[in-house]
Protein backbone atom coordinates (compact mmCIF):
# COMPACT_ATOMS: atom_id res chain seq x y z
CA UNK A 1 0.00 0.00 0.00
CA UNK A 2 1.38 3.40 -0.99
CA UNK A 3 1.89 5.96 1.77
CA UNK A 4 -1.13 8.21 2.23
CA UNK A 5 -0.57 11.92 1.79
CA UNK A 6 -3.35 14.07 3.25
CA UNK A 7 -3.91 17.78 2.80
CA UNK A 8 -5.34 19.92 5.57
CA UNK A 9 -6.40 23.14 3.80
CA UNK A 10 -7.53 26.40 5.35
CA UNK A 11 -6.95 30.09 5.92
CA UNK A 12 -5.23 29.70 9.32
CA UNK A 13 -5.52 33.42 10.12
CA UNK A 14 -4.12 32.64 12.66
CA UNK A 15 -3.58 28.97 13.53
CA UNK A 16 -5.51 28.09 16.72
CA UNK A 17 -5.23 25.29 19.27
CA UNK A 18 -8.18 23.68 17.50
CA UNK A 19 -6.21 23.54 14.23
CA UNK A 20 -3.19 22.20 16.07
CA UNK A 21 -5.29 19.52 17.74
CA UNK A 22 -6.53 18.39 14.33
CA UNK A 23 -3.00 18.45 12.89
CA UNK A 24 -1.83 16.22 15.73
CA UNK A 25 -4.69 13.77 15.15
CA UNK A 26 -4.15 13.79 11.37
CA UNK A 27 -0.39 13.29 11.70
CA UNK A 28 -1.06 10.08 13.68
CA UNK A 29 -3.31 8.62 11.01
CA UNK A 30 -1.75 9.67 7.72
CA UNK A 31 1.80 9.01 6.55
CA UNK A 32 2.28 12.64 5.55
CA UNK A 33 0.15 15.66 6.27
CA UNK A 34 0.46 18.89 4.32
CA UNK A 35 -1.07 21.93 5.99
CA UNK A 36 -1.98 24.04 2.95
CA UNK A 37 -2.74 27.73 3.39
CA UNK A 38 -5.07 29.30 0.85
CA UNK A 39 -3.63 32.36 -0.89
CA UNK A 40 -6.82 34.30 -1.33
CA UNK A 41 -6.47 37.67 -3.02
CA UNK A 42 -10.08 38.64 -2.20
CA UNK A 43 -9.90 38.27 1.57
CA UNK A 44 -7.84 40.75 3.52
CA UNK A 45 -6.27 38.62 6.24
CA UNK A 46 -4.91 39.92 9.53
CA UNK A 47 -1.64 38.03 8.96
CA UNK A 48 0.14 37.99 5.61
CA UNK A 49 0.66 34.68 3.87
CA UNK A 50 4.34 34.58 4.82
CA UNK A 51 3.50 35.30 8.47
CA UNK A 52 0.95 32.49 8.47
CA UNK A 53 3.45 30.09 6.89
CA UNK A 54 6.06 31.06 9.46
CA UNK A 55 3.65 30.66 12.40
CA UNK A 56 2.42 27.27 11.21
CA UNK A 57 5.98 26.03 10.63
CA UNK A 58 6.87 27.10 14.14
CA UNK A 59 3.98 25.33 15.85
CA UNK A 60 4.14 22.14 13.74
CA UNK A 61 7.90 21.67 14.22
CA UNK A 62 7.37 18.76 16.68
CA UNK A 63 5.59 16.73 13.99
CA UNK A 64 8.15 15.17 11.65
CA UNK A 65 5.58 14.08 9.02
CA UNK A 66 3.86 17.48 8.78
CA UNK A 67 4.72 20.04 6.08
CA UNK A 68 3.42 23.58 5.62
CA UNK A 69 2.72 24.90 2.13
CA UNK A 70 0.42 27.38 0.39
CA UNK A 71 -1.76 27.14 -2.67
CA UNK A 72 -3.89 29.30 -4.92
CA UNK A 73 -6.74 28.29 -7.20
CA UNK A 74 -8.69 25.07 -6.89
CA UNK A 75 -7.91 22.87 -3.92
CA UNK A 76 -8.45 19.67 -5.90
CA UNK A 77 -5.92 20.83 -8.53
CA UNK A 78 -3.37 21.47 -5.81
CA UNK A 79 -4.13 18.04 -4.27
CA UNK A 80 -3.62 16.41 -7.66
CA UNK A 81 -0.28 18.18 -8.14
CA UNK A 82 0.84 16.99 -4.71
CA UNK A 83 -0.33 13.41 -5.28
CA UNK A 84 -2.66 13.57 -2.26
CA UNK A 85 -5.41 11.00 -1.70
CA UNK A 86 -7.13 12.68 1.22
CA UNK A 87 -8.46 16.12 2.15
CA UNK A 88 -8.71 16.55 5.90
CA UNK A 89 -11.25 18.95 7.43
CA UNK A 90 -12.35 19.53 10.99
CA UNK A 91 -15.99 19.62 12.04
CA UNK A 92 -16.66 21.37 15.32
CA UNK A 93 -20.42 21.36 15.50
CA UNK A 94 -23.48 20.54 13.42
CA UNK A 95 -23.37 24.10 12.10
CA UNK A 96 -20.09 23.33 10.27
CA UNK A 97 -21.53 20.25 8.65
CA UNK A 98 -23.70 21.82 5.95
CA UNK A 99 -20.94 23.90 4.38
CA UNK A 100 -18.35 21.15 4.78
CA UNK A 101 -20.67 18.62 3.16
CA UNK A 102 -21.27 20.98 0.22
CA UNK A 103 -17.53 21.52 -0.27
CA UNK A 104 -16.70 17.83 0.09
CA UNK A 105 -19.36 16.79 -2.42
CA UNK A 106 -18.30 19.48 -4.88
CA UNK A 107 -14.65 18.47 -4.56
CA UNK A 108 -15.67 14.83 -5.12
CA UNK A 109 -17.62 15.87 -8.24
CA UNK A 110 -14.50 17.50 -9.68
CA UNK A 111 -12.03 14.86 -8.50
CA UNK A 112 -13.68 11.55 -7.58
CA UNK A 113 -10.46 9.84 -6.49
CA UNK A 114 -9.92 12.26 -3.63
CA UNK A 115 -11.53 11.41 -0.28
CA UNK A 116 -12.54 14.06 2.24
CA UNK A 117 -12.00 12.85 5.79
CA UNK A 118 -13.65 14.74 8.66
CA UNK A 119 -12.17 14.68 12.11
CA UNK A 120 -13.45 16.14 15.38
CA UNK A 121 -11.25 18.41 17.46
CA UNK A 122 -11.13 17.96 21.25
CA UNK A 123 -14.40 19.10 22.84
CA UNK A 124 -12.69 22.04 24.53
CA UNK A 125 -11.98 23.53 21.09
CA UNK A 126 -15.44 23.00 19.64
CA UNK A 127 -16.28 26.70 20.06
CA UNK A 128 -12.99 28.03 18.77
CA UNK A 129 -12.47 29.86 15.48
CA UNK A 130 -9.77 32.08 13.99
CA UNK A 131 -12.40 34.78 13.43
CA UNK A 132 -13.30 34.94 17.13
CA UNK A 133 -9.63 34.82 18.14
CA UNK A 134 -8.91 37.82 15.87
CA UNK A 135 -11.89 39.70 17.25
CA UNK A 136 -10.98 39.07 20.89
CA UNK A 137 -7.35 40.08 20.29
CA UNK A 138 -8.37 43.20 18.36
CA UNK A 139 -10.66 44.23 21.21
CA UNK A 140 -7.92 43.77 23.79
CA UNK A 141 -9.11 40.45 25.31
CA UNK A 142 -6.94 37.51 26.28
CA UNK A 143 -6.55 34.61 23.86
CA UNK A 144 -4.52 32.50 26.30
CA UNK A 145 -5.35 28.82 25.87
CA UNK A 146 -7.00 29.47 22.51
CA UNK A 147 -3.81 29.71 20.44
CA UNK A 148 -0.26 28.45 21.04
CA UNK A 149 1.81 30.88 23.21
CA UNK A 150 3.99 31.92 20.21
CA UNK A 151 0.86 32.95 18.32
CA UNK A 152 -0.45 34.84 21.35
CA UNK A 153 2.70 37.00 21.24
CA UNK A 154 2.34 37.55 17.50
CA UNK A 155 -1.30 38.57 17.92
CA UNK A 156 -0.44 41.02 20.67
CA UNK A 157 2.23 42.66 18.50
CA UNK A 158 -0.03 42.70 15.46
CA UNK A 159 -2.94 44.50 17.14
CA UNK A 160 -0.90 46.87 19.32
* Binding test (CB under 6 A) with ligand PNS, winner from 34, 75, 133, 155: 75
44 is catalytic: no
C-alpha dist (Å) from residue 140 to 45, 136, 154, 155: 18, 6, 14, 10
Q: Binding-site residue total for ligand PNS (CB under 6 A)? A: 9
Q: Is 159 in the site for ligand PNS (CB under 6 A)?
A: no
Contact 46, 25 (CB under 8 A): no
Q: Which is nearer to ligand PNS, 73 or 142 (CB)?
A: 73
* Binding test (CB under 6 A) with ligand PNS, winner from 7, 22, 38, 128: 38
* Binding test (CB under 6 A) with ligand PNS, winner from 6, 10, 125, 151: 10
Return the C-alpha torsion angle 125, 93, 24, 74, nearest 10. -130
Q: Is 107 in the site for ligand PNS (CB under 6 A)?
A: yes
Q: Is 90 in the site for ligand PNS (CB under 6 A)?
A: no
28 is catalytic: no
Closest CA to 70 of 12, 25, 114: 12
Contact 6, 90 (CB under 8 A): no
Say which residues have a Cβ less than 8 Å from residue 16's Cβ, sequence separation at least 6.
125, 128, 129, 130, 133, 146, 147, 151
CB of 123 to ligand PNS, least distance (A): 20
Q: Which is nearer to ligand PNS, 89 or 142 (CB)?
A: 89
List residues near ligand PNS by CB under 6 A. Answer: 9-11, 38, 74-75, 103, 106-107
Query: Would you name the residues annotated as active-site residues?
Result: 19, 43, 92, 130
Amino acid sequence: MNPILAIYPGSFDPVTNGHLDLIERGAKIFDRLVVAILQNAEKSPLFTLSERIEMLREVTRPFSNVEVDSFRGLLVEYARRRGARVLLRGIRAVSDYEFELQMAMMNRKIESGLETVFMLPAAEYSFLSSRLVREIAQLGGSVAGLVPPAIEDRLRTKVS
